[in-house]
Amino acid sequence: MLSLTKKSDAQPVAAPPWHTNFRNFERLPDTKVVRTTFFINTAAIAIAVGMVLWLVSREYTNHSLQEQITEAKHQIEGNTKQNAEALRLSKVFLDEQKKIDDAAAFMKMPITLLDFVDLLAQTMPKEIIVDNVDCRITDPRSSVFQVRGRIAGSPDQASGLISSYVDMMRAHPRIGAVFEPITLNRIDRNVSGTYMLFDISFSVKPEKK
């Protein structure tokens, strides 16, 4: 009786499973409504498409910039040629204008170079030899005649002779009326010491207002 009572009060023993669970959960198919691989693939495709679009946009921008640079170079080359031609024509015009201005100034001179040389020949002593005569015409009333030559004799004789000649030219009615000042710039002995060299400038008088 005692043994029966103890057995009836004891908890029932659970029956062991009838087979072993061999399932591999990592290899089981994904039974979700939206699978995880869908998100991964979508993200990968979106990144790839974005990269492609970025590359296409960059190439298009580079191509557009290259076309603009090429067009700008063509414009610069065309403008450079036009500018060079304009500068050439401008230089030609200025050169021709200078010739015309020089000719007009020469025609307006109060004395011509031929008349000046003729006056020198009439007034110059036989001891003086003229080597060259220059005429620098900057303006009809501010031009300079330059006379260079040689004087025979000793230094004292040559200095006195050329100084007297300059004074005579200043008092000459024609030359003194056209030129002022008449300046003896220098008188030097030549290298061999046989004669003296002189330089006289005749400045045309400025026009009176």
Range of the domain at 37: 24-107
Closest CA to 183 of 133, 147, 143: 147
Asked whether the beta carbons of 209 and 197 are under 8 A apart, the reply is no
Of 72, 107, 142, at which residue does a domain stop? 107
Residue that terminates a domain, selected from 60, 88, 107:
107
Q: Pick from 185, 183, 184: which is nearest to 203 by CA?
A: 183
In a domain, 128, yes or no: yes
Residue 41 lies in a domain: yes
pLDDT digits (tens, 9 = 90+) for 172-206: 888 888 888 888 888 888 777 678 889 999 888 87
CA–CA separation, 109 vs 101, rounded Å? Answer: 12
Q: CATH number of the domain that 119 lies in?
A: 3.30.70
**Is 3 within a domain?**
no
- Say whether pTM exceeds 0.75: no
Domain end residue (candidates: 107, 131, 146): 107
What are the pLDDT digits (tens) for 11-53? 555 555 556 665 666 665 655 555 566 667 788 888 888 888 8
Instruction: Give yes or no: residues 117 and 196 share one domain.
Output: yes
Q: Are 144 and 116 in contact (CB under 8 A)?
A: no
> Looking at the 3D structure of the chain, how many domains does it have?
2
Per-residue model confidence as pLDDT tens digits over 141-167: 568 888 999 888 778 888 888 889 899
SS (HEC) of the chain: CHHHHHHHHCCCCCCCCCCCCCCCCCCCCCCCCCCHHHHHHHHHHHHHHHHHHHHHHHHHHHHHHHHHHHHHHHHHHHHHHHHHHHHHHHHHHHHHHHHHHHHHHHHCCCCCHHHHHHHHHHHCCCCEEEEEEEEECCCCCCCEEEEEEEEECCHHHHHHHHHHHHHHHHHCCCHHHHEEEEEEEEEEECCCCCEEEEEEEEEECCCCC
